[in-house]
Amino acid sequence: MARGPEDRYYEFAEQGWLPPQEARSYVCGWCGRTVSSQLGMGKSELRIESSPLAPLGVPNQFSRDVRVCTHCACATTFIEHNQLPGPLPGEHFEAKGKGEHVELIATLYNEARFALRDGAASCATLMFRKLLMHVAVEQGAKPGLKFVQYVEHLKDEGVVGKPQHGLLTRIKDAGNLENHEVRRASPQEARDLLDLTSLLIRSVYFAA
Burial of 22 (0-12, 13-18, 19+ CB in 10 A): exposed
CB 171 within 8 A of CB 133: no
Number of domains observed in the structure of the chain = 2
Domain boundary among 84, 111, 126: 84
Residue 180, pLDDT above cutoff 60: no
Looking at residue 177, its pLDDT comes to 59
- Pair 195, 107 in one domain: yes
Amino acid at 151: V
pLDDT for 70 equals: 96
Check residue 101 and give its pLDDT: 84
pLDDT of residue 173: 75
CA gap 113, 120 in Å, rounded: 10
Q: Give, rounded to a whole angstrom, the gap between the first and last alpha carbons of the chain.
A: 60
Same domain membership, residue 56 and residue 126? no
Kindly report, residue by residue over 9-66, the tens digit of the pLDDT. Answer: 677 777 878 899 899 999 999 888 899 999 999 998 876 777 777 777 777 777 899 9
Cα 141 to the center of its chain, rounded Å: 29
Q: How many CB atoms lie within 10 A of CB 175?
A: 22
Is residue 181 pLDDT above 90, yes or no? no
For position 55, what pLDDT does the model report?
73
136/199 same-domain check:
yes
What value does the mean pLDDT of the chain take? 84
Task: Specify if 89 maps to a domain.
Answer: no
What residues pair up with 48 in beta bridges, in sequence order?
Answer: 59
In a domain, 90, yes or no: no
Give the H/E segment covering residue 63.
strand 54-68
Alpha helix (H) residue ranges in 31-120: 100-117
Measure the CA–CA gap between 81 and 61, rounded to whole angstroms.
Answer: 12
Instruction: Give the range of the structural domain holding residue 50, as residue numbers without chain letter.
Output: 5-84
| Shared-domain flag, residues 67 and 104 | no
Residue at 31 is within a domain: yes
CB 127 within 8 A of CB 192: no
In this predicted structure, the answer to whether residue 81 has a pLDDT above a threshold of 80 is yes
Q: Could you give the CA distance from residue 4 to residue 15 in angstroms, rounded to a whole number?
A: 17
Please check whether residue 93 lies inside any domain of the structure: no
Between residues 133 and 168, which one has the greater pLDDT? 133
Domain identity same for 78 and 110: no
Asked if residue 185 has pLDDT above 60, the reply is: yes
The last residue of one of the domains, among 84, 111, 137, is: 84
Q: Between 136 and 182, whose confidence is greater?
A: 136
| Residue that finishes a domain, picked among 30, 55, 84 | 84
Position 6 scores a pLDDT of 66
Residue 132 within any structural domain of the chain: yes
Residues 119 and 186 in one domain: yes
* Pair 142, 70 in one domain: no
pLDDT, tens digit (0-9, with 9 covering 90-100), for 87-125: 989 998 988 888 888 899 999 999 999 999 988 988 998
Q: Which of 24-28, 132-136, 191-195 has the highest mean pLDDT?
A: 24-28
pLDDT of residue 164: 78
Same domain? 35 vs 60: yes
Q: Residue 155 maps to which CATH number?
A: 1.20.120.330
95 located within any domain: no
How far apart are alpha carbons 5 and 22 in whole angstroms?
22
Task: Say what percent of the chain tops pLDDT 90.
Answer: 32
